[in-house]
């Protein structure tokens, strides 16, 4: 169980702060159930309510600095998830975003990046589905890594790239 003040990763929403753990006094809601009351750090001002009973399927502890560094180190070894079938590919994208797993997000970022390059070489534009999921995956991944490292989300892509380049040059 998480505590008030903890930072968690809420699938599809990003890093959130747990503001309260309470029972909700709303019609149709079990008054004996406890809920996490959370605020996303993305600044969009929404409040999320997640049942403590079902939280383990939709929230996890936000990455620590060490875990973020480990994820960055692992990026070169994470494979793209290539799927030829359009519907299955979109389903895989959805699953990755819903999972909130950094490795799954990196896999689809790599997949969509490769597809974009391939389509550009063929004189085609990137698909709307690819663009949407690429942005979602990047936003979720970069926001969590930025939080863990105490950096601004806008500088994370460049930071990751320089880390990977720096490690390659040392090898």
CATH number at residue 106: 1.20.58.1290
Residues 77 and 34 in one domain: no
Tell me which residue of 149, 151, 119 sits closest to 134, measured CA to CA: 119
Helix (H/G/I), strand (E/B), else coil: 94 = helix
Q: Is residue 11 part of a domain?
A: yes
Q: Is residue 143 part of a domain?
A: yes
Residues 52 and 125 in one domain: no
| Phi-psi map region of 12: left, alpha, beta (phi>0 left; psi -120 to 50 alpha) | left
Q: Model's pTM, two decimal places?
A: 0.88
Q: Which residues, listed in sequence order, are joined to residue 17 by a DSSP beta bridge?
A: 7, 39
Residues 15 and 43 in one domain: yes
**Given this model, what pLDDT does residue 42 score?**
82
Count structural domains, the chain: 2
Domain that holds residue 105: 65-170
What are the tens digits of pLDDT across the range 91-145? 999 999 988 899 999 999 999 999 999 999 999 999 999 999 999 999 999 999 9
Query: Binning pLDDT at 50, 70 and 90, where does residue 171 land?
Result: low
Residues 70 and 56 in one domain: no
Query: Binning pLDDT at 50, 70 and 90, where does residue 150 land?
Result: very high
């Amino acid at each position: 169980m998480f505590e008030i003040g903890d930072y968690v990763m809420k699938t599809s929403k990003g890093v959130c702060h747990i503001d309260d753990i309470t029972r909700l006094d709303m019609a149709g809601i079990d008054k004996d159930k406890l809920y996490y009351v959370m605020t996303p750090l993305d600044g969009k001002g929404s409040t999320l309510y997640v049942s403590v009973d079902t939280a383990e399927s939709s929230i996890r502890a936000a990455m620590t600095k060490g875990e973020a560094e480990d994820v960055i180190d692992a990026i070169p070894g994470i494979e793209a998830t290539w799927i030829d079938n359009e519907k299955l590919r979109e389903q895989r994208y959805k699953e990755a975003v819903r999972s909130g797993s950094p490795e799954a997000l990196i896999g689809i970022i790599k997949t969509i990046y490769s597809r974009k390059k391939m389509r550009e070489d063929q004189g085609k534009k990137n698909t709307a589905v690819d663009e949407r999921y690429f942005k979602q995956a990047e936003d979720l991944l970069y926001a969590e890594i930025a939080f863990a490292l105490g950096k601004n989300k806008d500088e994370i892509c460049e930071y990751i790239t320089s880390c990977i380049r720096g490690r390659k040059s040392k090898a």
